[in-house]
Amino acid sequence: MVPLDFRFLMDQEPMKFSKAVSTSRKKTLVGLDIGSHSIKAVEIEHSKRGRTLRNFGIIGTPEDAVVEGSVKDVEAVAGAVKRLFRNLKVKNRNVAVSLSGYSVIAKKILLQRMDDPDIERAIKEEAEKYIPYGINEVNLDYTVLNTGDRLEETTEEKGASELNEEMDVLLVAGKSDVIDGYVSLIQAANLNLGVVDVDVFAMQNAAEISLDDPEGSYAIVTVGANELGINTVHRGISVFSRDSSYGGAQITRAIMSRFQVSYEEAEKMKLGGVELDYDRRSDVERIITDTVLQWITEIKHALDFVANTYPDESLTNIFVSGGASETPGFRRHLEDETNIPVAGLNPFKYLVVDERLFDTDYLQRMAPRAGVAVGLALRSIGDK
């Protein structure tokens, strides 16, 4: 579990825990993933039978209301969130949301072993080195990744770590104005903000409960509508993560301008929902292939960097997720280009699902888009 909450080192505390939270049931959070294309909500209950899916739903994001990971139109998004909660009859008002894109920076750093108050001071100093924003423009958080067996980047470091007491720390900075946007949104939707997490780490938490070997070395690649997230994990620890501005909406926009059609029409043409003549179908296929190859170049770039940084830890699998990871040809090309087996990540795989309450075919179809929301629903207030 990567338990971030950005409560640490904040000038104004955006999360109000005013009501005392007493029973453990109340501590659970509704995972709320606010994407640029769709909003997903997940509730998970921890019962004797294991982690049980209580609720899942998805609703379209109003057009241009969420851009590059930040909420641009609070009222419109709040309206959609309220509709989603009403449709799903969600009772729990406490939610977990996540940051993504340029508004969040995560970096694994090495610190001398020290106690919490000293770590906080050291983190502030380190943050000033790594973060391209003013220290007053960000909310900082960190998590100590491992206590004994740290991951060495080079052979010299191996020697050093035997002599020095050092530890890996994940430093995370979220843009304060973007976090404020989520605070306003959650208030406008009459909900309480319990946790602010990060898309790629929520996805990693979802992977931990759904992979057969969560301790291995793998990459998770999430392709949404406008963001492509990469996270490489060695023995449960994220060693590198990055979001770039790629995604399924690139294809939709290219189809819009090629054929002068609306977003909805282009989306249908992309997903095969309309009959097209041979020439048009070929044009659409070419747009899809060109875009997919751009994604793969970006992914390979990141994986090469990780391979050079951690020569002893080779990736054995790539798990893909996000609506656009289903784009025809993507998985096959990715596997061909990296020589690493590619598989879909199904965050529902090991959740207990009551088949009288859920349409399991629908869950299967939505599984690629549900990872972040499932990961967020695994969080609870005060789990840090």
Ligand X SMILES: Nc1ncnc2c1ncn2[C@@H]1O[C@H](COP(=O)(O)OP(=O)(O)OP(=O)(O)O)[C@@H](O)[C@H]1O
346 binds, among ligand X, Mg ion, none (CB under 5 to 8 A by kind): none
Distance, CA of 237 to CA of 227 (rounded, Å): 22
Site of tokens 């072993």: 113
Of 38 and 346, nearer to ligand X (C-beta) is: 38
14, 31, 35, 375: which one binds Mg ion (CB under 5 A):
35
Binds Mg ion (CB under 5 A): choice among 174, 224, 247, 375: 224
Our CB check for Mg ion shows the closer of 167 and 322 to be: 322
> Tokens 């060695």 belong to which residue?
234
Considering the complex, what minimum distance in angstroms separates the CB of residue 225 from Mg ion?
7
- With respect to ligand X, which residue has the nearer C-beta, 186 or 320? 320
> Which of the choices Mg ion, ligand X, none does residue 323 contact, using the CB cut-off of 5 to 8 A by kind?
ligand X
Q: CA 155, CA 160: separation in Å to the nearest integer?
A: 9
Strand partners, 218: 233, 317
Closer residue to ligand X in complex, CB, 169/203: 203
Q: Which is nearer to Mg ion, 194 or 224 (CB)?
A: 224
Query: Which residue blocks in the chain are alpha helix, DSSP H?
Result: 24-27, 74-88, 116-130, 155-163, 176-188, 199-210, 248-259, 263-270, 278-309, 330-338, 360-377
- What x-and-dash track marks residues 114-153 binding Mg ion by CB under 5 A? ----------------------------------------
CA distance 345 to 374: 12
DSSP 165-203: -EEEEEEEEEEHHHHHHHHHHHHHTT-EEEEEEEHHHHH
Q: Least separation, in Å, of the C-beta of 126 and ligand X?
A: 28
**Range in contact with Mg ion (rule: CB under 5 A) among 129-137, 164-172, 216-224, 292-300:** 216-224
Would you tell me which residues interact with ligand X (CB under 6 A)?
A: 35-38, 224-227, 247-249, 267, 271, 322-324, 326-327, 369
CA-CA distance, 154 to 2, in Å (whole number)? 25
Q: Which spans of this chain sit near Mg ion (rule: CB under 5 A)? A: 35, 224
